[in-house]
Structure formats: structure tokens, C-alpha cells
């Protein structure tokens, strides 16, 4: 590939990435992924931190099962729930990406 062609390639990618459709796609992805990531980090690390530094989770919750175990089980529910929510949401991202691609094809038949 010659240098001038390479430059052309670059601006084509830049044009798409600068388009409002693409920016919207990135924004909607970030609006989901960043808060969810922060949430699961806090939710997860509060378990080892609470069991290491405090004894509040040592109280019995259900019979012999203490709150530490309940919180640990809740991590499984949390993980599976987030998986489910993400796969729902990701279908919408796919749709946005498909729209961007099909509009590109229309421009250059």
C-alpha cells in the first residue's frame, strides 16, 4: 500500500468514528459498561473486605447459615444476572453497529 493510500484509509476510519451514529454507539456502550463494572467491583470486593476487617457478616441469617455465606451466594446471583442483562443490552448495540455498517454500504455501492 502506498503512503497516500494509507492516508486515505486512515481518514475513512476517522470519518466513520467521528460520525454522530458511531459516537452514539460508543456512548451507549460506555453508559452501560462503566457503571456496571464499578457496581460489580464494589459489590464483589465488599465481601472479602467485610469478612477481613469486620465481623458483621458472622451473624446467623438462616439457621446455621451466616450472612457471609448469604453474601457469597448473592455473588453468584449477581454474576448471572449481569450476564443476562448484558446479553439483552448487547443486542441493542449490535443493532446500532449494523445500522452504521449498512449506511456505509449505501454511501459506497
Q: Decide: 87 and 37 in contact? Cβ < 8 Å.
A: no
Q: Rounded to the nearest whole angstrom, what is the least distance from the CB of residue 20 to another protein in the complex?
A: 15
Single out the residue of 52, 86, 51 nearest to residue 71, CA to CA. Answer: 51
The footprint of another protein (CB under 8 A) covers 1, 5, 8-10, 12-14, 16-17, 22, 25-26, 29, 33, 36-37, 40-41, 44-45, 47-49, 51-53, 57-58, 62-66, 68-69, 72-73, 75-76, 78-80, 82-83, 86-87, 90, 93-94, 97, 100-101, 104, 108
∠ CA(63), CA(66), CA(67), 5° rounding? 125
Residue 60: strand pairing partners? 66
User: Beta-strand (E) ranges in the chain?
Assistant: 60-62, 65-66
Amino acid at each position: 500500500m502506498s503512503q497516500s493510500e494509507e492516508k486515505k484509509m486512515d481518514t475513512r476510519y476517522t470519518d466513520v468514528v467521528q460520525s454522530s451514529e458511531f459516537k452514539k454507539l460508543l456512548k451507549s456502550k460506555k453508559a452501560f459498561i462503566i457503571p456496571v463494572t464499578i457496581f460489580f467491583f464494589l459489590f464483589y470486593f465488599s465481601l472479602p473486605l467485610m469478612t477481613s476487617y469486620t465481623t458483621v457478616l458472622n451473624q446467623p441469617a438462616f439457621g446455621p447459615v451466616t450472612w457471609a455465606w448469604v453474601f457469597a451466594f448473592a455473588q453468584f446471583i449477581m454474576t448471572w444476572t449481569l450476564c443476562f442483562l448484558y446479553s439483552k443490552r448487547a443486542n441493542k448495540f449490535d443493532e446500532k453497529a449494523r445500522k452504521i455498517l449498512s449506511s456505509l454500504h449505501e454511501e459506497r455501492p
